[in-house]
Amino acid sequence: MLDEKYRAVLLGLAFLILLMLSYIANTAFFNTLSVLFENQLLVFSMIFINNVIVVSLILLGMTFYVDLVVLGFFKREKYANVVLEHPRTFAVVFALIVLFLSILRGANLFLGRIIVEALPTIFLVSAPIGIIEGYGIYLTIRKTLSRTIAVKDLVCIYGIFFIAALIEVGFINILR
């Protein structure tokens, strides 16, 4: 039992440290975005790495949450197990929220602000990539919360984000 609690604490600390490091990497990525577009391989690599960081943080955070619930850290909480009992519903909602926020951030990045009139067009252009990335996020969360994730699943998930990065770079080149 002590080893499991120790593992949960280490997962939480790793999550916090990697979250801080990902913020720094994300800020550097968006600050050097215009320079990155001069080299297609570099922009593809950066988009793929950014996606891998995001999905890895989701995986780590969900694993940390599962460990906390399973080890009984939320014994007094009435609804702590709801997420574990309904992993598909939570995965769909979480994936939609992540996609919506990333589209808003991208719109803010490229337009300098969020223009409500442009959002339907942005959502339409982002739909193919959003569907692929959304499925990858959904799969990550569902497999992690249901405690059925395996190395084969990770390969599939990272493959989905590899394909999404290829399509994203292609769309960027078409729209430029």
Question: In this predicted model, what pLDDT tens digit does every residue of 81-119 receive, in sequence order?
Answer: 888 888 889 999 988 998 888 888 777 766 777 788 878
Task: Determine the pLDDT at residue 22.
Answer: 85
Q: Are 147 and 66 in contact (CB under 8 A)?
A: yes
Two structure tokens written together for 131 = 């569907």
pLDDT in tens, 9-20: 888 898 899 889
Q: Sign of the CA dihedral 66, 71, 73, 76?
A: positive
Quickly count: other Cβ atoms within 10 Å of residue 174's Cβ.
Answer: 8
Q: How many separate helices (H) and strands (E) can be counted in the chain?
A: 7, 0
What is the rounded CA–CA span in Å between residue 125 and residue 140? 24
pLDDT in tens, 106-158: 777 667 777 888 788 878 878 888 899 999 999 999 999 888 899 999 999 99
Task: Determine the pLDDT at residue 30.
Answer: 74
Two structure tokens written together for 103 = 């589209």
- pLDDT score of 68 more than 80: yes
**Average pLDDT, integer, range 29-39:** 77
Task: Determine the pLDDT at residue 35.
Answer: 78
What is the rounded CA–CA span in Å between residue 57 and residue 101? 16
**Average pLDDT, integer, range 32-55:** 84
Task: Determine the pLDDT at residue 113.
Answer: 77
Provide the terminal-to-terminal Cα distance of the chain, rounded to the nearest Å.
55
Q: pLDDT tier at 168 (50, 70, 90 boundaries)?
A: confident
- pLDDT score of 2 more than 70: no
Task: Determine the pLDDT at residue 176.
Answer: 67
Comparing 78 with 18, the larger pLDDT belongs to 18
Quickly count: other Cβ atoms within 10 Å of residue 144's Cβ.
Answer: 22
